[in-house]
Amino acid sequence: MANSTVGVIFSNIHDHNIPELSRHRTMASIPYGGRYRLIDFALSNMVNAGITTVGIVTKNNYQSLIDHLGSGKDWDLARKDGGIILLPPFSDETDAPYNNRLEALKGITGFLTHRKEDYVLISDCDGVAHMDIGDIVRYHVEKHADITMVYHEEPDVDSSYYMTFAPDETGRIRGLKINGNVTEGKYNCYINVMVINREFLLDIIQDAVARGLTSFGRDILVKSVDTLKLYAYRFDGYYAGINSLQKYYKHSMELLDRKVRAELFGARDIYTKIRDSAPSKYNDDAVVKNSLVSDGCIIEGTVENCILFRGVKVGKGSVIRNSIIMQDTVIETGVTLDCVITDKNVVIRDRRHLAGCAELPYFIAKGRML
């Protein structure tokens, strides 16, 4: 089944959700979980399902993504046939790069036309989950669906971010709405992972271009909900939807829960770029509690309820709590941090005290020195 599926990942489409972290990079390359980027979860799900060709749709600021992916070898996707295929913005002479998903899809029709797989698995990079993609494709085939959309139950406060629907007893999607809910309750939210027949997708794109449609959701999915065979696949596992800095912080901290880690990392491998960092060192004065620590760290201070990315240094007498400290950040001596997110390569000089709160973590941009 997997051999008949080609992956497509949209790396940019939710960039505006977390402007803090995506100012210099794509959504796909936002660091997550100590040593990963968001795209690693989507890519690993595909690789673990045996998918060997993944097209990555990019728009802008994708230098960090190219750097991260390299040849694709760290995901076993450096292949003669297929592998990782970067799909940079494509535009006719008159057009600017794409503005929406439909235009983006139009830009990759060449890629889609030349593939031989029957199905396309389309995924965005705004979610962290361990998903059995083989099972989703099987479901799609069994239902003879045109499109299968994966959903997860989310509380009302989040559901306005998503498309929501109410599948009938056969799994057929009914009542598809976009950003609609204000009343309390739980909603079936489309989490931006779908399976679609490749030929059918090409037809839709051609038709949409001919008719000047602009929105894949509004103009195609919502309008054709009763004529197309749209099916819903329920995902019940752990799902972290990353649609704001607050959500990024909240879900990151959930990784300190053993059960969440077991589900995300336990049953399979999550692939990521190899950096050949040395193992982390804990010195005599180190006090580390309830924290995730990546390789290359040197810890001489106190670290509680934190996620430390690769190559972080925590100096003597510094106390870091409830914080996410990204790659190569240097925290000198006598610093206290509470509810802080530092982007990469931040330097916090001696005896600085910084604090945010869980609802509004204090964010320090890439490369800043305080």
Partner 1 sequence: MQRKKECVAMLLAGGQGSRLYALTNNIAKPAVAFGAKYRIIDFPLSNCINSGIDTVGVLTQYMPLELNEYIGNGQPWDLDRSFGGVHILSPYQAKSRSSWFEGTANAIYQNMNFMKKYNPDYVLILSGDHIYKMDYSDMLRRHIETKADCTIAAIEVPLKEASRFGILNTNPDGSIYQFEEKPKQPKSTLASMGIYIFTAEKLFKYLEEDDADPNSSKDFGKNVLPAMLNAGERMFSYKFSGYWKDVGTIASLWESNMDLLGEEPAFDVGDADWKIHSRNPLAPPEYIGDSACVTNSMIALGCEIEGTVKNSVLASNVVVEEGATVIDSVIMAGTVVKKGAVVSCAIIDEDCVIEENARVGGEKTDDISIAVLGKKVTIGAGATVEAGKILDKDYKGE
Q: Which residues are near partner 1 by CB under 8 A?
A: 33-35, 73, 256, 258, 261, 264-265, 269-271, 274, 276-296, 298, 300, 303, 307-308
Q: Which of 214, 219, 230 is nearest to 102 (CA)?
A: 214
Contact 152/235 with Cβ under 8 angstroms?
A: yes
Report d(CA 63, CA 67) in Å as an integer.
Answer: 6
The least distance separating partner 1 from the CB of residue 277, rounded to whole angstroms, comes to 8
Beta carbon nearer to partner 1, 105 or 320: 320
Beta carbon nearer to partner 1, 82 or 315: 315
The least distance separating partner 1 from the CB of residue 72, rounded to whole angstroms, comes to 12
Report d(CA 14, CA 99) in Å as an integer.
Answer: 12
Beta carbon nearer to partner 1, 153 or 295: 295
Beta carbon nearer to partner 1, 32 or 187: 32
Give the angle 43-49-108 at the CA atoms, nearest 5°: 50
The least distance separating partner 1 from the CB of residue 41, rounded to whole angstroms, comes to 12
Q: What are phi and psi of 101, to 5 degrees?
A: -65, -35
Beta carbon nearer to partner 1, 226 or 285: 285
Beta carbon nearer to partner 1, 146 or 300: 300
**Strands 313-314 and 119-124, sheet pairing:** unpaired
Beta carbon nearer to partner 1, 80 or 114: 80
- DSSP code of 179? S
Q: Residues of 98-137 as b/e, b for ≥16 C-beta within 10 angstroms?
A: bebbbbbbbbbeebbeebebbbbbbbbbbbbbbbebbebb
Q: Which of 244, 241, 243, 248 is nearest to 341 (CA)?
A: 248
Contact 301/285 with Cβ under 8 angstroms?
A: yes
The least distance separating partner 1 from the CB of residue 55, rounded to whole angstroms, comes to 24
> In sequence order, what are the residues at sequence separation of 6 or more whose Cβ sits closer than 8 angstroms to the Cβ of residue 253?
305, 307, 322, 358
3-class SS at 344?
coil
Beta carbon nearer to partner 1, 79 or 115: 79
- DSSP code of 369? B
What number of other Cβ atoms are within 10 A of residue 184's Cβ?
8
At 163, list the tokens.
């498309």
The least distance separating partner 1 from the CB of residue 52, rounded to whole angstroms, comes to 18
Longest CA span, the chain: 68
The least distance separating partner 1 from the CB of residue 268, rounded to whole angstroms, comes to 9
The least distance separating partner 1 from the CB of residue 269, rounded to whole angstroms, comes to 4
Beta carbon nearer to partner 1, 100 or 305: 305
Contact 7/52 with Cβ under 8 angstroms?
A: no
The least distance separating partner 1 from the CB of residue 284, rounded to whole angstroms, comes to 5
The least distance separating partner 1 from the CB of residue 305, rounded to whole angstroms, comes to 9
In the block, residue with structure tokens 């990759």: 108
Beta carbon nearer to partner 1, 234 or 281: 281
The least distance separating partner 1 from the CB of residue 292, rounded to whole angstroms, comes to 4
